[in-house]
């Protein structure tokens, strides 16, 4: 029995003007805008969310944000709140991406506040976890992932947990072309599944999708997506062009 529908999510990072974003979304809609076998999400920069949300109307594609602030409103220059995202028909939000952690100093406790705020506002958080190359070489991969996951999910209830999405993104594989082998990825995904069982119980843990991220592309997707605990992908580079992103969605449809 397939409990988990695959999810392919594009993390566009700091790429694409509003006009370029709409062009890409229109190309995606033409190819995969009506399919329902795979859940598909695009996460453009904040500036393009409004236009992308409008362009997606009537399609099966959804939009997500790449970050948000945990507070509802106030003196937080440069930040965006959950309710502002909701007003743009955003359904998901990427939280704790490794670039937020390493380049902007985000820590687990702050990321946890965002996770809680996302649930409170009916946004589905995509909580990113993953080790650096130094941590992997030191044999600390599972310890790092466990700390980030448990701290990030503190206070999340069993009612909220089924709409959680986790992304395992080994930092050394992001944007480097160095993809984790399917065995390396599956090992960590299975470990994460085990932690989710401890936190929320078996039945709920089996519903939570765990995405792989880090240089996933059409040439390596099939093997990764065939793994038991890999429920989709969080795609950076290969999400910026319609052709490669569409191929990834098709690979996920074939792997289900």
Active-site residues, by number, are 97, 169
Residue 11 lies near ligand PGA (rule: CB under 6 A): yes
Binding segment toward ligand PGA, per CB under 6 A, in 17-25, 186-194, 198-206, 207-215 = 207-215
Residue 66 lies near ligand PGA (rule: CB under 6 A): no
Residue 215 lies near ligand PGA (rule: CB under 6 A): yes
- Interface residue with ligand PGA among 174, 221, 246, 255 (CB under 6 A) is 174
Least distance in angstroms from the C-beta of 149 to ligand PGA: 17
Nearest one of 143, 130, 134 to 170, comparing CA atoms: 130
Nearest one of 209, 242, 249 to 21, comparing CA atoms: 242
- Interface residue with ligand PGA among 8, 21, 65, 234 (CB under 6 A) is 234
Residue 45 lies near ligand PGA (rule: CB under 6 A): no
Residue 169 lies near ligand PGA (rule: CB under 6 A): yes
CB atoms within 10 A of CB 30: 12
Lookup: tokens for 32:
């995969």
Nearest one of 36, 95, 84 to 62, comparing CA atoms: 36
Q: Taking every pair of C-alpha atoms in the chain, what is the biggest distance, in angstroms?
A: 49
Least distance in angstroms from the C-beta of 255 to ligand PGA: 17
Three-state DSSP class for residue 30: helix
Binding segment toward ligand PGA, per CB under 6 A, in 140-148, 168-176, 202-210, 243-251 = 168-176
CB atoms within 10 A of CB 22: 18
Least distance in angstroms from the C-beta of 226 to ligand PGA: 18
By the 10 Å C-beta count (0-12 exposed, 13-18 middle, 19+ buried), 150 is classed as middle
Q: Which residues bind ligand PGA (CB under 6 A)?
A: 11, 169, 174-175, 213-216, 234-238
């Amino acid at each position: 029995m397939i409990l988990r529908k695959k999810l392919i999510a594009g993390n566009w990072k700091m790429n694409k003007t509003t006009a370029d974003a709409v062009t890409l979304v229109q190309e995606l809609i033409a190819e995969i805008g009506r399919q329902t076998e795979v859940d598909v999400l695009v996460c453009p920069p904040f500036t393009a969310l409004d236009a992308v949300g409008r362009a997606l109307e009537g399609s099966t594609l959804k939009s997500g944000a790449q970050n948000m602030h945990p507070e509802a409103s106030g003196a937080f220059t440069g930040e965006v709140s959950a309710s502002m995202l909701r007003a743009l028909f955003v359904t998901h939000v990427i939280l704790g991406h490794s670039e937020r952690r390493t380049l902007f100093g985000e820590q687990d406790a702050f990321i946890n506040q965002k996770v809680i705020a996302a649930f409170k506002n009916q946004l589905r958080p995509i909580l990113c976890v993953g080790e650096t190359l130094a941590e992997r070489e030191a044999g600390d991969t599972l310890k790092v992932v466990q700390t980030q996951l448990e701290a990030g999910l503190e206070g999340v209830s069993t009612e909220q947990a089924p709409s959680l999405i986790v992304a395992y993104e080994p930092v050394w594989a992001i944007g480097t072309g160095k993809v984790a082998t399917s065995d390396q990825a599956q090992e960590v995904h299975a470990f994460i599944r085990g932690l989710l069982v401890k936190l929320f119980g078996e039945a709920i843990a089996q519903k939570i999708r765990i995405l792989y991220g880090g240089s996933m592309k059409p040439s390596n997707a099939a093997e990764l997506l065939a793994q038991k605990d890999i429920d989709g992908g969080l795609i950076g580079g290969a999400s910026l062009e319609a052709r490669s992103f569409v191929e990834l969605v098709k690979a996920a449809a074939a792997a289900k």
